[in-house]
Structure formats: C-alpha cells, structure tokens
Chains A and B, each alone.
Chain A
Amino acid sequence: MAIVELKDVTRVYRNGEHEQYALDHVDLSLEEGKFVVVLGPSGAGKSTLLNLLGGLDNPTSGTIRVDGKDITALKDDELADYRAATVGFVFQSYNLIPTLTVQENVALVKEISPHPLSSHEMIAAVGLADHVHHFPSELSGGEQQRVSIARALAKNPKILLCDEPTGALDSETGVMVLKLLLSMAREMGKTIIIVTHNQQIAKMADTVVRVKNGKIVTCENQDHPLTAEEVEW
C-alpha cells in the first residue's frame, strides 16, 4: 500500500509577472518501508517536493495523500500536528541547537510528538550513547548528523525526509549515515526519502525518482540495491 501519493501536483512560484513551475503536474506513488532516493540537479524541484511532503508548503493545485490522509486539505495548525506525528526531517546543516546537549536536543523535539520513543534509546540506536551529555560543537559533522537523525526518529515518524543528509560530510562518514538510514527502513519499517544530487546514493535505493525541470522523468524500483558499504564517492 502506498504511503505517499501525489496526484497532478503543481507548485508555481510567482515572481512579479514571471511564473516558475517548481513542480509541474507531478504524479508519484511510494511504498511504505522503502528506501527512496529523489535524484536531480539543483533547481529541479527536489526541495519543493520534500517541503510539500513535509507539510511545510502547499501545492498550487493537485492532492497529496500521506498515510491515507489528504494533507492538502489541512489548515496551518493541522499541518503542524501532521508534521509532529507523521514526518521527521533531517537537514544538510543538521540544525542542532548549539546550547543544548545531545540528550536535550533529542528530548526537545520528543515533547512535540504524540507518540514519542525514548530519546536515550534513539541516541543509542545511532551509536552515540557515550556522547549524551556532549554539546554539538564537541562532535564531528557525522556525529552531529547522527544526532539529528536520532532527533527525527525520537518523534516516531512513519516517514523520514532527508534533504542532502550527506551533503556536508566526507565519503566515509556519509556512508555511515546512509547505513544508519538504511537500517531504519529495514529494521524499523520507516519510509526514508532522501533528496540528493549524488548519483552514487541512488545505487542503494529501493526506488529511484529522477526529477528534472519540475517533472518526474523516471520512477524505478531496483530489485537488488547495493549496500551502503558498496557505495563510494
């Protein structure tokens, strides 16, 4: 059963008289528990797609159903509730709060969720049990990204939306983060949606969605994706 379903979705940005189609009549259907990579050059509409799925933006036309719910019909407050309950975000720049410890960063977001998981368990799950009382500035980039994944997971979302999660990391740390994300799909049944321009990451995906000029060029399922270790860039 599809957890994400876009029907004829268009997002137009108006800039004076100029109209720009960030997404142009897009249809897309994604299965639950899959590791999905959305691939495309910058400006192709990847981030718009991610923001629409995350309920941070509304489409100009079309409908988006996530987990059986039409999120295009929701009001601002309902969208916040939807974000709190259903999706977790992982950003390229981690967006950790510098004045809070690892444990506090994770616990802060947990308060928002209606059905959170233990923050200690999530921190342990990303392999940072020894660093709970450290501040973000005391961690490496890869470790900070793992904290942000623990933070997203502690809300217990069905879908993890990741915007260039390895964009600021070197190849080796990037692979570790990807491996962690992949295990979230395999072991916890989360749907992982990664937006990137990195072709290599697509090789480990169950589903690869290629986006260009606001349109979906292809949406392919791969029966034998590579493991994280086999990927390199």
Chain B
Amino acid sequence: MAEYIARFFSEKKMADAWVLIQEDFFQATLSTLYITLMSTLFAILIGLPLGIILVTGDSKGIRPLPRWLMTFLNWVINLLRSAPFIILIVLLMPFTRLLLGSAVGDGGVIVPLVIAAFPFVARLVEGSLRELNPNIIEMAQSSGANTWQIVFHVMLPESVPSLITSFTTAITTILGYTAMSGAVGGGGLGNLAIAQGQQRSNHAVLLAALVILVILVQILQTFGTWLAKKCDRRQKNQ
C-alpha cells in the first residue's frame, strides 16, 4: 500500500496533478460535454424516427412495413449494438474521414459515438412507445386518424416522460463512452485520464477525472428525472 502510494501519489506527482487540474481540466470538461451533447443530439435525430418505425412498422403496428425491411432494420441495430465501441471507432475511421475530412479529434469520436448510440436510442424509444396503452391507439385509429396523426398527436405526446427518461439513460451512457475518445486524439476528460493518469502513472489525475465524470452523470440524471416528472401530467393531478 505504502509502495503504491509512493509510486502513484508522490509529492511531485501530486504537484503535477494540481497543475493539470488547474490548467487543463476545465477545457477537458467542456470538451467532454460538447462531445456528449453533439453525439446525443445526432443519435436522437436518427434513433427517434427509427424507434417510431420499429413500433409502427411492426406486423401488429399501425402501419406494417414489409417483413424483410423490419428484419433488416432489427438485424442492423443488433449488429451495431453488439460491436464494442473501441472496435467501432477503429472500423469507422475511413467513414469518419470521408464525412469530416479527418478521423481524429473531437469529430473523430462524435461520428463513431453517433453510430454506436443511435441503435441504442432506437431500442429505448421502441420500449417507451410500446408502454402506451393499446386502447388509446385503438381509439385514435377508429377515429380515422392517419399514421402521421397517431404518431404526432397521440403516441409521441403521450410518451414524453418515458422518452425523457430514455434519453437521460442514453446521454449518461454516451458520457461514459466519451472516455474512449483519447484513442483517436479526441479531447475530454477520458483523454486526459489516459494520457496523463495512466500513461504517466499519475493516479491523482485519474481520480480527479473520475470525480468530475461522476458529478456530471449525477447532474444529468437528476435533471433528466426532474424534467420527466415535470412533464408527467398524471402525477400532478393525483
């Protein structure tokens, strides 16, 4: 134990860590937040419509799509969800380069993050929408609402609290993934922790990065839970 402390938390290392915390941590935290927010935004932009299609296009949905198409979509989602993120980053490098002109930096991590997260978001959205009372959908259908009206006037508004909870789960998961951004030279706390903490054996930096990540997750989760409750009109009037 004493040896461990001497090796990773020597007086010099603590001094180095303190300098880093003062000089680099603020920028790294901003970078992590930027990567997380952008990735979540794009993942929702793709995952939300996809999740809606998974529910409405189902053979028992309000607008069944060809079976082969649904099988294909499910297959793609499962495939992307089973790929470990660090492998996805490497495999997607040519694609990222094609899209952004460069496969490194913050953009280099946002592209693979979006690819990794949108299938996850689609599944979360699918779960949220399937929780809806089928009687309400039946009512909308029998009233002559078309698919569009059922989705935008009934399914989505009724699922808002559940969707917010799902998106909160998504953003905290994505925040965790950003730690791997260091692998492609992306900025952020993960990069700082790996480059300074692990590779230069300064565990105080690792711990400091961890503490900030924990605080960020707590803030996001608390805010998400609060927002979901605020949007749930059933709770207010009971």
Q: Which residues of A are interface residues toward B (Cβ below 8 A)?
A: 54, 56, 77, 80-85, 87-89, 91, 93, 95, 97-99, 108-109, 111-113, 135, 137-138, 151, 155
**Which listed residue, A109, A135, A137, touches B143 by the CB 8 Å rule?**
A109
**A-B contact list, 17 entries, CB within 8 Å:** A80-B144, A81-B144, A83-B143, A84-B143, A88-B143, A89-B139, A89-B142, A97-B139, A98-B234, A99-B157, A99-B158, A99-B233, A109-B140, A111-B153, A135-B233, A135-B237, A155-B143
Tell me the residues in window 118-142 of chain B with beta carbons closer than 8 Å to chain A beta carbons. Answer: 135-136, 138-142
Known contacts A109-B140, A155-B144, then 15 further A-B pairs from the complex at CB < 8 Å, ordered by chain A residue = A80-B141, A80-B145, A80-B146, A83-B144, A84-B144, A85-B144, A87-B142, A91-B138, A95-B136, A97-B139, A99-B158, A108-B153, A112-B144, A112-B145, A137-B238
Query: Residue of B at shortest CB range from A114?
Result: B144
- Complex CA gap A97/B133 in Å reads 9
Give the chain B neighbours of A91 by CB distance below 8 A: 135, 138-139
- Complex CA gap A82/B233 in Å reads 33
Asked whether any CB of chain A lies closer than 8 Å to the CB of B14, the reply is no
Cβ A56 vs Cβ B141 within 8 A: yes
Main secondary structure of the interface of B (DSSP, over half): helix
Cβ B234 vs Cβ A99 within 8 A: yes
Give the chain A neighbours of B139 by CB distance below 8 A: 89, 91, 95, 97
Asked whether any CB of chain A lies closer than 8 Å to the CB of B37, the reply is no
Q: Which residues of B are interface residues toward A (Cβ below 8 A)?
A: 135-136, 138-146, 149, 153-154, 157-158, 232-234, 237-238
Q: How far is the CB of B42 from chain A (nearest CB, A)?
A: 29
Number of A-B residue pairs at CB separation under 8 A: 64
A-B pairs, 3 with minimum CB distance: A84-B144, A83-B144, A95-B139
- Knowing A82-B144, A83-B144, the reply to whether A95 touches B237 (Cβ < 8 A) is no
Q: How far is the CB of B204 from chain A (nearest CB, A)?
A: 50
Q: How far is the CB of A11 from chain B (nearest CB, A)?
A: 17
Q: How far is the CB of A116 from chain B (nearest CB, A)?
A: 11
**Which listed residue, A85, A89, A97, A113, touches B154 by the CB 8 Å rule?**
A97
